Amino acid sequence: MDKIYLNGMSFYGYHGVFPEENTLGQRFIVDVVLYVDLKTAGMADNLEETINYAEVYQLTRDIVEGPEKQLVEAVAEDIAKALLNQFAKVKECVVKVIKPDPPIPGHYDSVAVEIVRTR
């Protein structure tokens, strides 16, 4: 199956289990992979035959910058559900939500969850 990637989308949200995360907020990075048959779009060179990347970005932004959740798992679920609901051509999606600076002690690049959802 063909894939569309939107990598490194960066947003500011208020998700987390600690009160300061809900008050101060933090940066979230989201990667999305959409499994779509792209043959017709490629042959026709027609946006109507594919997925509009700007719409995927805006949908993702609305969720990450929207109402707070305790868990990034819930944020990822909301994104996946919305993508599958809004874009009928999407057969499967992979959503990765990254917290580059969570308020937990230790040395690491980031923490993240990745989910795979299909129709």
Active site residues: 99
Neighbours of 11 (CB within 10 A): 20
**Whole-angstrom Cα distance, residue 6 to residue 103?**
26
CB 72 within 8 A of CB 113: yes
Distance CA 81, CA 118 (A): 9
Q: Which pair of structure tokens corresponds to residue 90?
A: 């999407």
